[in-house]
Amino acid sequence: MNNILLYDDNAASVKEIKELLENALGNTEHHIFTASLMSDADKILETTKIDIAFLDIVLENGNGINYAVNIQSRFPNLQVVFVTGNAVFSEQIFDAQPSGFLIKPVTPNKIKRVLDQLSMNEKGKNDESDVLIYSTKESGVVSFPYAQTGYFEYSKRRINIFTPDGKKIGSFPSGIEEFEKKLPSCFHRCHYSFWINLANTKEICRYKAITVANVVIPISQNRFMDTREAYVKYLTKKL
């Protein structure tokens, strides 16, 4: 990791993120270039080999996603990290094939996670086999395909399985803790009674998740931030 571009049209945000990056990078060899105008960002990219670009999604003079697509077509090896305070994430963001996300308000821990993610370039474990098998004393062995699972609901001491379009495809008795321990990382608990399949979720907005079939799943207020970050992390790993 050598040259970093930080482009945000908010001067205060640029200063804050640059300081956090400097602290996180410490004595490693690096140089951080900053720009508050698109013309300045272009000039830096054209005259310096930039390894990573931190780009704000919402810019006064343009769309950060469109700009990311543009510069990636010119500099194919450039890694892009989107900086955003937007609570809504949709598939449009991934037109730019980002390498990571930095969600405002930016903190040292968030900076560290993003830098670790960029430097490790790990593929991660593939915990999404075709079928999840679950065993209970009453029902014996229960199996269902991840690809057809949209979410789970816990109700009356039973786990109900639903497709992304809201069709119930199975049910079995289980306690919450026992069931949750067996779930792979593509499932995330967004509510006391609901787990969503991140692989079949197309959008996270305030207090609700939307499946690829447009079914709305509630997100409790105290789980919203955690769910949003889990969704971003999951999608980033899939790039």
CA atoms within 13 A on the CB side of 127: 12
For 147, the domain range is 131-237
Can you give the CATH number for the domain in which 70 is found?
3.40.50.2300
Task: Tell me, yes or no, whether 9 and 111 share the same domain.
Answer: yes
Q: pLDDT grade, residue 131 (50/70/90)?
A: low
What is the amino acid identity at position 191? Answer: H
Mean pLDDT of the chain: 83
- Has residue 76 been placed in a domain? yes
Q: Which of 82, 98, 120 is the last residue of a domain?
A: 120
Task: Tell me, yes or no, whether 28 and 74 share the same domain.
Answer: yes
Give the pLDDT confidence score for residue 233 in this predicted structure: 87
* Residue pair 188/195 in contact by the 8 Å Cβ criterion: yes
Task: Tell me, yes or no, whether 184 and 79 share the same domain.
Answer: no
- Measured in degrees and rounded to the nearest 5, phi and psi for residue 122 equal -85, 150
Domain count, the chain: 2
Task: Tell me, yes or no, whether 7 and 116 share the same domain.
Answer: yes
Task: Tell me, yes or no, whether 33 and 99 share the same domain.
Answer: yes
Give the pLDDT confidence score for residue 222 in this predicted structure: 95
Give the pLDDT confidence score for residue 239 in this predicted structure: 58
218 CB contacts (<8 Å, ≥6 apart)?
A: 190, 191, 194, 207, 208
3-state SS of 212-234 is: CCCCEEECCHHHHHHHHHHHHHH
Q: What is the pLDDT of residues 219-234, one digit of tens each?
A: 999 999 999 999 998 8
Task: Tell me, yes or no, whether 228 and 166 share the same domain.
Answer: yes
Q: Which of 73, 92, 120 is the last residue of a domain?
A: 120
Give the pLDDT confidence score for residue 135 in this predicted structure: 47
- Has residue 126 been placed in a domain? no
Q: pLDDT grade, residue 71 (50/70/90)?
A: very high
Instruction: Report which of 218, 209, 4 is spatially closest to residue 100, judged by C-alpha positions.
Output: 4
Distance CA 49, CA 39 (A): 16
Residue tagged 């079995």 (tokens): 172
Task: Tell me, yes or no, whether 29 and 69 share the same domain.
Answer: yes
Q: What is the pLDDT of residues 201-214, one digit of tens each?
A: 999 999 999 999 99
Q: Which of 84, 101, 120 is the last residue of a domain?
A: 120
Note the Cα 201 to chain centre separation in Å.
11
Distance CA 47, CA 70 (A): 17
Q: What is the pLDDT of residues 82-112, one digit of tens each?
A: 888 765 555 566 666 677 888 888 999 989 8
Can you give the CATH number for the domain in which 193 is found?
2.40.50.1020
Instruction: Report which of 81, 74, 116 is spatially closest to residue 5, judged by C-alpha positions.
Output: 81
Residue 140 pLDDT more than 50?
no
